[in-house]
């Protein structure tokens, strides 16, 4: 029986707003603001997927995209497109989207927040997809800048912002540097996650012990350390894995499409969810990431749905909203699988 990858219900815990802007939209926003298209490229070659093996080069393009997002309507539009074209149309029922204020220099936090919330409301009205926001710290900035961002989140507190994250290049910003920003967020009741992809493996202990993370974005090297695997099993840490983007970056395996690390994490019984990270930038989407894992690892419908159930359990909705999402997923499962 063929698996209906597109209609299987999905819950998205690892997708970046800036990384999900469609190429045509980037070019239109550049025109709107009278700035040249990034690198003078067109829609067909805006995202040079082969070059994303190099994280610094990937982040350079990512920042160029961030710079064409300037007013509230830009954030409304890009959020809407991420939640519909790259979300609801792929069976995504709920997304916690990473928003990175530092990748939009000169834009007020409030402008970003208002625009993103407007896009979330519109997407929900049109497709039913629900969503929340994780405000992401750029670890290549200073700890003081990270602390300031958390202060802004708290000053403009709203129900949509459920937590903070930490992204950009791990090698340039070890997680321990940001302990004060994370402690401040924890005291304010914000949930915490952080990217750990390129390592070193010891960073996982810092995420858990120092930053108070209950989720880890990527985290493939957990399976290199049996003690850490046991600890994460015990603590129920949720890992938001992104097969295609991490395969290109050679983090989740050897870049050979075999996804050995994800397979080992699933085999160990760790709580794994699947998402697309920066879908158009890596030439993927939520349907494709499910299909890729089926093709590489033979995961059947039941295993793919297990990723979705884990994402429901690991998401940061309150318990009543989580129960509603759980039943929405169950309803969709019976339709999706016939």
| The one segment of 52-60, 145-153, 186-194, 274-282 that binds Zn ion by CB under 5 A | 274-282
Residues facing residue 96 across a β-bridge? 132
- At its nearest, how many Å lie between Zn ion and the CB of residue 91? 20
CA distance 318 to 323: 9
Rank residues 111 and 240 by Cβ distance to Zn ion and give the closer one.
Answer: 240
User: What's the rounded Cα separation, in Å, for the pair 146 and 175?
Assistant: 11
194 to 253, contacts with Zn ion by CB under 5 A? Answer: none
Stretch that binds Zn ion, among 53-61, 100-108, 270-278, 294-302 (CB under 5 A): 270-278
Burial of 121 (0-12, 13-18, 19+ CB in 10 A): middle
Alpha helix (H) residue ranges in 199-281: 203-209, 226-235, 243-248, 260-268
Nearer to Zn ion, 277 or 285 (CB): 277
Residue 198 is classified by DSSP as S
Tell me the closest approach of the beta carbon of residue 214 to Zn ion, in angstroms. Answer: 17
CA dist 224 and 221 (Å) reads 5
* Stretch binding Zn ion (CB under 5 A), from 143-151, 227-235, 276-284, 307-315: 276-284
Which C-beta is closer to Zn ion: that of 96 or that of 277?
Answer: 277
Please say which residue, 74 or 277, places its beta carbon nearer to Zn ion.
277
Is position 197 annotated as part of the catalytic site? yes
Q: How far is the CB of 119 from Zn ion (least distance, A)?
A: 19
Q: Please identify, using beta-carbon distances, which residue of 28 and 141 lies nearer to Zn ion.
A: 141
Of 41-49, 176-184, 198-206, 271-279, the segment contacting Zn ion by CB under 5 A is 271-279
Give least dist CB 218 to Zn ion, A. Answer: 7
CB 20 → Zn ion: shortest distance, Å? 11
C-alpha 306/C-alpha 253 separation (Å) is 22
Residue among 277 and 289 whose Cβ is closer to Zn ion: 277
What is the secondary structure of 58-103 as a DSSP string? HHHHHHHHHTT--SHHHHHHHHHHHHHTTTGGGTEEEEEEEE-GGG
Contact assessment for residue 62 and residue 278, using Cβ atoms and an 8 Å cutoff: yes
**DSSP per position, 293-322:** HHHHH---HHHHHHHHHHHHHHS-S-HHHH
Residue nearest to Zn ion (CB): 277
Q: How far is the CB of 167 from Zn ion (least distance, A)?
A: 6
Report the C-alpha gap between 186 and 180 in whole angstroms.
10
> Binding to Zn ion (CB under 5 A): which residues in 69-128?
none
The Cα–Cα gap between 215 and 237 comes to 5
Catalytic-role residue among 122, 151, 197, 319: 197
Size of the site for Zn ion (CB under 5 A): 1
- Of 63, 81, 247, 277, the one binding Zn ion (CB under 5 A) is 277
Applying CB under 5 A, which residues contact Zn ion?
277
Residues labelled as active-site residues: 197
């Amino acid at each position: 029986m063929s698996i209906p990858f597109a209609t299987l219900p999905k819950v998205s815990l690892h997708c970046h707003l800036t990384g999900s802007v469609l190429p045509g939209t980037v070019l239109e926003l550049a025109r709107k603001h009278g700035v040249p298209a990034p690198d003078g490229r067109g829609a067909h070659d805006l995202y040079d997927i082969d070059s994303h093996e190099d994280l610094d080069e990937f982040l350079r393009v990512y920042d160029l995209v961030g710079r064409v997002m300037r007013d509230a309507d830009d954030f409304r539009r890009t959020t809407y497109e991420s939640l519909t074209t790259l979300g609801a149309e792929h069976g995504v029922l709920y997304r916690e989207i990473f928003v990175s204020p530092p990748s939009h220099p000169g834009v007020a936090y409030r402008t970003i927040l208002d625009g993103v919330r407007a896009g979330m409301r519109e997407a929900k009205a049109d497709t039913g997809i629900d969503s929340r926001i994780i405000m992401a710290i750029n670890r290549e900035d200073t700890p003081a800048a990270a602390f300031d961002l958390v202060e802004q989140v708290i000053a403009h507190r709203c129900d949509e912002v459920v937590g903070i994250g930490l992204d950009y290049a791990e090698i340039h910003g070890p997680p321990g540097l940001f302990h004060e920003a994370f402690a401040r967020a924890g005291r304010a009741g914000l949930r915490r996650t952080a990217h750990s992809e390129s390592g070193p493996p010891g960073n996982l202990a810092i995420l858990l012990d120092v930053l108070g993370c209950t989720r880890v974005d990527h985290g493939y090297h957990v399976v290199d350390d049996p003690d850490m695997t046991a600890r994460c099993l015990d603590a129920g840490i949720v890992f938001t894995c992104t097969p295609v983007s991490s395969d290109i970056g050679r983090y989740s395996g050897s870049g050979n499409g075999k996804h050995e690390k994800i397979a080992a994490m699933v085999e160990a019984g760790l709580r794994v969810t699947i998402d697309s990270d920066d879908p158009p930038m890596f030439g993927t989407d939520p349907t494709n990431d499910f299909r890729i894992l089926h093709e590489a690892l033979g995961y059947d419908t039941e295993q793919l749905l297990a990723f979705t159930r884990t994402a429901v359990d690991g998401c940061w909705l309150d318990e009543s909203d989580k129960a509603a999402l759980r039943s929405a997923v169950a309803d969709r499962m019976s339709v999706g699988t016939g």
